[in-house]
Structure 1
Amino acid sequence: MGDISGAIYTTLEVLIAVACCLGNVLVIWAVRASGCLKQPAFCFVVSLAVADFLVGAVAILMAVVVDRKVWTSFHGCLLMSCVVMVLIQSSVLSLLAIAVDRHLRVHIPLRYKRIITQRHSWAMVLACWLVAVVLGFIPMVGWYNHQTLAMMDNSTTIVCQFVSVMDFSYLVYFNFFGFTPLPLLVMLALYAHIFHSIHKRLREKQARSADSHAYFAKERRLAKSLLLVLVLFAACWLPLCLMNCVAFFSKPEDIPQAILYGGILLTHANSAVNPVVYAFKVPKIHQAYLQVYRKCLWGRNMQDWQGADSNNPTSGELIHTKI
């Protein structure tokens, strides 16, 4: 039964990894093609898409390696586990940056473009990743599972497992309680304030121009889309975080393997869901997606036409005559 569940888990991980990579590459291309990179909010969207892409290309691969019980050095396994933590922190910080950016755009619309330039937004993206690297690699400098290392004796390798090398006090007290619920609560408070302010300003239509009304209506639509991304992130990550709490305060064995697999798959699936949200909820990215589809469809039709033309030398003349 364990082998079957492991095989199903690995298959689903591979499918999610492919969806993560393809979907987020398309998001990055769509933002660039639509010219949205000039807008600070979309710089943070690209940062989040890069983190999601790396989840598919790197984190899921490492998760599968760990599940297959591969033998590695202790610090090699710890390094792989820390990379996963970096991607988690970069996603949280990118979502926080998006919320702060939306808040500033609504509350200081006239000064926003002067204060938040493209260079400033990319500097904030870089800062988010640097902070994520520092927070994610803290276990490498000593906050790891010393008990596993002590039990190795003269052995130089161990069966690489996340729970074997990571200290649960780091996962629960530092990563979860310190850098997951608090940022999520701050983001929810910012979005609540954003919607309250927009609703208040939209009710003052008589005192505002049509352009001002359209501006705030547009900001409300985009804020709703980005809030959905935040809610999905929380819904996908909180179950696994709660499992870590259970494992820390009781025993890791108390969590059934199938439920643990489900929690891990849910966190990885979140990185594949975001491109779908952008496709349906963000008009500029939706339009860029349609352009890609039309180009692919047009290219395929051209190839079919050229193939028919090569098989029948007179087909081109017949079509020309009909036209």
Structure 2
Amino acid sequence: MSSSPGIKPQEHVDLVYISIETAISLASVVGNVLVVLVVCVNRTLRNTTFSFIVSLAVADIAVGVLVIPLAIVISLGLKTQFYTCLFLSCLLLIITQSSILSLLAIAIDRYLRVKIPTRYTTIVTHGRAYVAVCFCWILSFLTGLVPMVGWNNLDAHTNLSSSNEIVCKFTTVIRLDYMVYFNFFGWVVVPLIIMITLYAEIFRVIRRQLNRRAEATCDGDRYYRKELRLAKSLSLVVFLFAVCWLPIHIINCINFFCPECYIPKFATYVGIFMSHVNSALNPMVYAFRIKQFHITLIQITHRCMLCKLAEPTPSTTITPALKEKGDVNL
């Protein structure tokens, strides 16, 4: 790929990176705002599972609004005080950590739903779901702010006072042993293993129940088929999370365990933007694989289009039949 006249090759890579990140940010914000809107509009989606999905969507919105702009700023080498740069880097960790904890909460919720279907509604109430969402965010803040209380690179900068300015880079302030041992092994690998185990058990239980058709009622058969479809969709979300997030963590591991190994800056950029693009993929999974979500999204789009068409002609009104149909569906 040839660079433009007057632009150095490295600057050209930076421009491409910023452009891609901006597009991902817009897609993430728009898509996940629609997720929240769909759940607010469709009352049948206001269950405990979708409470966790909304929490995940809020985290993904924060990725588009905060994480990606901060990542761009940090990549440009802005000069700040050490703890200012450290706090900005911790914000990235907090928001991304909330995503995996929300996914873990969803997996636990689906496991309980198929494992104890008769007692599920009494055990997993809306109040407890909201408490679980709050707990996920509190835990995200606690784990993400660990570098602020000492596990950082301040000691590596000799003769550096709190008032001195540094070139703000993520790896300048965040220690790699924190990213590898604590963040990756402790708060990414372990939750992923738990989620994979839970979804494997979910599919095993559902398949076993569906194989007992002679003993099961028609309602029971429909229940487990519905759970199977939803479990497939949500497990796909987990799979995409792993695929998108593993590259940047693998790069961190290479940098930590093999400091002499050379990793091109372009490869690091690819790893970063893959971790961010995950936030834009989740709404697509919901839209294409969850029927109620898909139908409600289409209805919202149609209503928005009808409103725009009605704006130039105030006298234009929606027919009672159409209005009544929309009210019933939504």
TM-score, with length taken from structure 2:
0.90
Match of 1:289 in 2: 297
For 2:81 and 2:261, the matched residues in 1 are separated by: 24
Are 1:26 and 2:34 counterparts?
Answer: yes
- Which segment is superposed worse, 278-287 or 264-273? 278-287
For 2:42 and 2:25, the matched residues in 1 are separated by: 26
Q: Per-residue CA shift, 1:5-35, capped at 9, x if unaligned? A: 0001001111111111111111011011112
Are 1:210 and 2:218 counterparts?
Answer: yes
Q: Which has the larger radius of gyration?
A: 1
For 1:161 and 1:215, the matched residues in 2 are separated by: 50
CA RMSD in angstroms comes to: 1.7
For 1:13 and 1:185, the matched residues in 2 are separated by: 29
For 1:45 and 1:226, the matched residues in 2 are separated by: 10
Match of 1:223 in 2: 231
Query: 5+ unaligned residues in a row in structure 1: which ranges?
Result: 310-323
Q: How much has 1:155 moved relative to structure 2?
A: 6.2
Q: How much has 1:105 moved relative to structure 2?
A: 0.2
Match of 2:247 in 1: 239
For 1:23 and 1:58, the matched residues in 2 are separated by: 16
Q: How much has 1:38 moved relative to structure 2?
A: 3.4
Q: Per-residue CA shift, 1:29-59, capped at 9, x if unaligned? A: 1011112453110000000000000000000
Structure with the larger helix share: 1
Q: Per-residue CA shift, 1:253-282, capped at 9, x if unaligned? A: 721000000000000000011111110011
For 1:39 and 1:296, the matched residues in 2 are separated by: 25
For 1:155 and 1:113, the matched residues in 2 are separated by: 55
Match of 1:104 in 2: 112
Match of 2:182 among 174, 180, 186: 174
CA contact (8 A) 1:198 1:220 kept: yes
- Which segment is superposed worse, 115-124 or 249-258? 249-258
Are 1:61 and 2:69 counterparts?
Answer: yes
Match of 1:46 in 2: 54
The share of aligned pairs that are identical, in percent, is 41
How many pairs were matched up? Answer: 308
For 1:103 and 1:154, the matched residues in 2 are separated by: 48
Q: How much has 1:288 moved relative to structure 2?
A: 1.6
Partner-residue secondary structure (3-state), 2:214: helix
Q: Sort the Cα spacing of 1:211 and 1:161 in 2 relative to 1 into closer, same or farther, 3 A.
A: same
Match of 1:144 in 2: 152
Q: How much has 1:252 moved relative to structure 2?
A: 7.7
Task: Specify the code of the residue in structure 1 equivalent to 2:181.
Answer: Y
Match of 1:71 among 62, 65, 79: 79
Q: How much has 1:194 moved relative to structure 2?
A: 0.5
Q: Sort the Cα spacing of 1:253 and 1:10 in 2 relative to 1 into closer, same or farther, 3 A.
A: farther
TM-score, with length taken from structure 1:
0.92
